[in-house]
Structure 1
């Protein structure tokens, strides 16, 4: 038997249905790639939407004014300042339920959100151990800043969303391509083996 197929001549006709692995594996490869690309697109849209929605610019207020926010354990709020700003901002919680211990902290990383043509920079994170409404006031020495409440956007979560957006489609395309190549190579080998069997079987 010839390991690489029959000698030169007209090869026997092989029914594609006889080949293994079955052609359905090409469909599996395509589905894997399409699903992973879809996950990446969905992740991008969700990450972009959640990031933009983290700033409630419709509740923006100027220096010296206040806003009421719902804060609780595991539901931190944040204060954003319209960028660019150079004045030193200050925010404090002026009204809180009895027995609660709310606090205003400075985030450990910079996070900026762009809504339309306006950039908002997160400057304070508001934490509380009691789920309730808190009155927060903000100001600056010049009285020129514009503030807006919002969610405490986690930079790590944002980066994680971007990683999913990039890596999942890439891995899906690589996996789909790998499956298709392996199936194609094995079907080619199986075809040559069947041709050899048919050629020598009819002699």
Structure 2
């Protein structure tokens, strides 16, 4: 007699559960979306990093509204920072100017470089004045420019690659473990089906007509 085939194994019997595939998909989508949002945000920031429409020249005084949370920088056009350029800031509290990080900002006809980072402790209106040995043009903008944008773009790429990598690992590990579990269940059920059952009792033959068995 051929052995009876074990019953099929339903997908929901296998462990780990299939919801881990959903976890992998959600992880990948979340990290990719986070990277894209961060990259787009950085791009929008860099396109308006410097307010070139309100530039000012040597000796001019401009007023600007600032607060402790303001991240603002004085930028100079077509020339890197040097000892010949000086700026000053006056206003409430004790405002200050610090050396900026290396960065740059490009327009259609000029390159802008950060000259000073502005730091204030109180909200209010501040006045800025800059001067140099030669004619220079200045503008106020954000701390970050192209270099900051590139750093954000790299981070966005890293997040996207990380999301795909984590998802791939989760899917691979889940598939391998489910396959191993399936093999284990099949082996257990095959072994259970191969074991012989109890031998059925055979009844004694009925006595023939006229035949009497001795009674004890």
C-alpha RMSD of the superposition: 3.2
Residue 106 and residue 197 in structure 1: after superposition, are their counterparts in 2 closer, same or farther (change >3 A)? closer
Shift of 1:42: 1.2
State whether residues 12 and 199 of structure 1, in contact with CA within 8 Å, keep that contact through their aligned partners in structure 2: no
For residues 27 and 63 of structure 1, the distance between their equivalents in structure 2, rounded to whole angstroms, comes to: 61
Q: Say whether 1:188 aligns with 2:179.
A: yes
Match of 2:86 among 87, 90, 108: 90
Runs (5+) with no aligned partner, structure 2: 195-216
Runs (5+) with no aligned partner, structure 1: 1-9
1:91-113 per-residue CA deviation (whole Å, 9 max, x = no partner) reads 223x535xx43333333x22223
Identify the residue that residue 36 of structure 1 maps to in structure 2.
Answer: 31
1:75-126 per-residue CA deviation (whole Å, 9 max, x = no partner) reads 3532101234587322223x535xx43333333x222233556432110123
Identify the residue that residue 26 of structure 1 maps to in structure 2.
Answer: 21
For residues 117 and 18 of structure 1, the distance between their equivalents in structure 2, rounded to whole angstroms, comes to: 67
Counting matched residue pairs gives 189
- 1:1-203 to structure 2, matched below 5 A, reads 13-84=8-79, 88-93=84-89, 96-97=91-92, 100-107=93-100, 109-115=101-107, 118-143=110-135, 145-153=136-144, 161=152, 164-203=155-194
Shift of 1:129: 3.6
The two structures have a TM-score, normalised by structure 1, of: 0.74
For residues 25 and 189 of structure 1, the distance between their equivalents in structure 2, rounded to whole angstroms, comes to: 16
Q: Secondary structure at the match of 2:17?
A: coil
